[in-house]
Amino acid sequence: MRYQVGTLVLSIGLVAAVVEAASHKPLKIGSQRQLFIDDHVVESMEPRVYRHLNQPLKYRDNPVIRMDQDWEHKGGLSHGGDCGQIFYDPDRKLYRFYGLMVNWDWSQKWIFYAESKDGIHWVKPRLGQVEYLGYDTNFISLPFDKEATSNAVFRDPAAKTEDERFKMIYFQMRDGKRVMMPAYSRDGLHWKAYEVERPVANFWSDTNNNLLWDPDKKRYILYLRSFNKLSRWMTPEPVYPADARVRTASVATSVDFLNWDTQPTLRDAPDRFIAFHADEKDKVGDRDFYTLEVLPYEGAYVGFTSVYHTMFGTAPAAMDTGNAQSPWMERMDVQLLWSRDGERFQRVGDRRVFIPNGPPGSWDEHLVYSVHNGVVREDLGEVWIYYEGFRGHHWFYHRQEPQLGQIGLAILRLDGFVSVTGNGALTTRPLLLEGNRLKINATGVDKFVGPGYGNVRVEVLDAATGETLAGFGKEESDAFGGDEIGYTASWKGKSDLSALRGKAVRLRFHLDKAKLFSFWADQE
């Protein structure tokens, strides 16, 4: 059989050969760390090798940004997913936090600001912009928007002028309609609105909206909420009528920050703008996703979403009427996502909890939201993931519960989101190694047994033949059973891979209870 497209004629055999050749095209990895969250570099895994989701460790002295003043207890830091942003400002050599502050009855709203030299010890400088209950506060007031709700703030590395170094997307009432608009600032404290005719979005995304600059595609990315019918993706269920709506994240992009490529509506964003959505694998009652915080990471994007849990099998969270006597769980925790393009995300780790709720009576007992967008501390070999915790349910106001949001820190090993482990081998796709050393991030340490509980060995194969290269076999590989972020693989004490430069190879990692987080080629 033959297929004709224009003047190109291909036989089925030739099509298969083209597909086969494409699948074996060597992947250029440069010096970028290769993670195992997806199958991008993985060709095969033996049955007893599997992926493991690793939870970050909550900092021992949480919360790091506390609501510890009496007057602060008369309001609440954020709610409903307005968990804010933290980023490092290299000009001021400070970490900076922007959240949402509301008073008890939600009649007043401001931007809550804090800063830190080390990311752990935070101060709330008095800014002279807002007096609250007789106190000068650390609140930012926008002269053009007294609502100050659901603001996305970030430091723009591609700003055209220093006056526009900081950018914001903010909520505004315009012609009687809720819309999202752009603003800018020189110092991140005093803001001006851009004069634009067309809003960023023609609805109010009432949650934590988040901004990124994509240096590869030279564009801005905005993550915001849409509110779509679940029946778009699933067959209606008894507790989810055909018109039931669920929260999920959508994506907008812009090359100049003022003109955006999409106008998704709050209720029905077009499919091409949906970052991810609920499906049959999600438990009934766990199909609302409040936020999408995104961390650019090694050429890809790690996503964090807060999952709204209701009483299993009872009713969807989006149908909550605010009844104070509701039996629903009304809790949120954080799950992990992953994307190669920053637009379409996949759920990872078997949708297990990544950042859990705290124990009963703790400050983060009921609600956990991740803060945009995480800080990579290569100097410490860690990823710092900030999160907002609450004691008090989602519908705290209707329940007449006091609710106090504070910011905590969860610390993860560098590259440690997902590891591969077990007893067997993982083989990569054909790769081009451009360095002269192979580095791995792995541990064979068990907290009860100690070093050597597990180990990893590396075998190097010819990509074309699949044969082991002389001197790089499993038996020649020096077993690693320690715990290092960047261990140099070696074979009988030799680690130089210069002879393999530019040659297509496969790597086969032999695991025996060790955890392997990543690998990369390095030049020494």
Question: For the segment 103-125, what is each residue's pLDDT rounded down to a tens digit?
Answer: 766 677 889 999 999 999 999 99
Q: Which of 202-206, 398-402, 448-452, 468-472 has the lowest mean pLDDT?
A: 398-402
Q: In one letter, which amino acid is 354?
A: F
Question: Is pLDDT at 433 greater than 50 in this prediction?
Answer: yes
Domains of the chain: 21-54+418-522 (2.60.120), 57-413 (2.115.10.20)
Confidence tier at 17 by pLDDT (50, 70, 90): very low
- Residue holding tokens 């207890």? 73
pLDDT at 277: 94
The answer to whether 487 and 513 have CB atoms below 8 angstroms apart is no
Averaged pLDDT score across all residues of the chain:
87
SS3 breakdown of the chain: % helix, strand, coil, rounded to 5?
5, 45, 50
Question: Is pLDDT at 328 greater than 60 in this prediction?
Answer: no
pLDDT at 16: 38
Task: Look up residue 395 and give its two tokens.
Answer: 């519908």
Give pTM, 2 decimals: 0.91
Sign of torsion, CA 479 484 489 492? negative
471 Cα distance to chain centroid: 40
The most distant pair of C-alpha atoms in the chain lies apart, rounded to whole Å, by 83
Confidence tier at 370 by pLDDT (50, 70, 90): very high
